[in-house]
Structure 1
């Protein structure tokens, strides 16, 4: 298959949150629900949406928590970081239980790939990727899902390293050089740019076009059906 500005490719590797489903919004709410009261109690600078995009978006949960706490000068051992991660996950799952609708434009893009016989996989840092796809009614559209739990069990470094995306291409039986990466997070775009992939589609859900291009996006769109 070929798309304008991207050339030919034979597979597509999708991030999930913020690309296929608006779960990035739920993650933002859950992180805010975790960190705002914590930072207030610690007497440090308040939590903002900028913290989400800089420290948390697209990264493994514990890595993001550790880097944000370090930025605020809050000491935390691995057990405390794990505890905070579980608290955040509980907040997220509560929000997810109310339902989630995928982005219509992203579904149209997925439909076009299916019509063209292009294999695809989801590669997400989230350990809840399967639950999110099920809640969105899309689980059967992706035969391969590389989520945070699967990559951790294999010892694969998370984004911005390219390893999880390379593994996704391997599962599809496609050389990474023939696979497109689709991402909305700066760390995810960096992961695609760091690997030998056919290109990186940046979906601007708030990170900003300039930031996504600077991270290595081949093209940047607001909605994926702009590419059709």
Structure 2
């Protein structure tokens, strides 16, 4: 597998590597998933009691990957509720966590996520970090992207912020008015800041929306990182190649 990736990087004249954060670099994807499930399941149960209805709870293997994974927080709220035929007022980013608005529910999810990170810290995928260090040693440029506004704090907590020349996260996306995945905006901005072209860059993503974005952006290589045993889905959504872990 190492030869396969190294060969592709060389063949396609790759100068820069752009990594998604959650699920590729850090083991926070599962924390995000469970925070989303806790928030949505509680909300739908409470709403169902009010309405005399039963709403199907969030399924991490299907609903989470399809509607939420890898995209901006409020888009995830909107997408998932639409799948249950629910429309809420947008609200404002300052809404109290749990307020019955898109922003309020998104903020509640974020508070659940931050609670776990504070209590348990952040674990990295050591295979990614070691491989990344090797590629930096060869002179390849590096960037990290994330839909999360917690990206900087997570990198600092894990002690790996120094491994990336550029960070384009949820905070930067709002400042610059970038669209969320599956639009390629965050990847294109990372390449721009690295001063490389998309066709000189490789994307590493575990989210379906992320590999779609990489493909839409015209990047030279889109690598699906399969931490959940779903290689076919990643390939179907635009990955050129899928790996289970980075080669040692």
With the shorter chain as reference, the TM-score category is over 0.9
How big is the shift at 1:5?
3.8
Q: 1:117 maps to which residue?
A: 139
Q: CA deviation at 1:40?
A: 1.5
Residue equivalent to 1:45: 56
Assess if the C-alpha contact under 8 Å between 1:186 and 1:211 holds in 2.
yes
TM-score (ref. length: structure 2): 0.87
2:19 aligns with 14
Alignment of 1:55 onto 2:60: no
Q: State the SS of the aligned residue for 2:85.
A: coil
What is the rounded CA distance, in whole Å, between the counterparts of 2:133 and 2:8 in structure 1?
20
Distance 1:82 1:143 in 2: 31
Query: Tell me, which stretches of 5 or more residues in structure 1 are unaligned?
Result: none
CA distance in 2, matches of 1:218, 1:224: 15
Match of residue 78, structure 2, among 46, 54, 66? 66
From 2, 6, 29, give the equivalent of 1:3: 6
Structure 1: 4+ residue segments shifted above 3 A: none
Partner of 1:201, secondary structure, is strand
8 Å CA contact retained: 1:19, 1:183: yes
Query: 1:224–1:26: structure 2 CA closer, same or farther, 3 Å change rule?
Result: same
How many corresponding residue pairs? 225
RMSD value over aligned CA atoms?
1.3
- The normalised TM-score by structure 1 is 0.95
Larger Rg: 2
After TM superposition, give the deviation of residue 152 of structure 1 in Å: 1.5
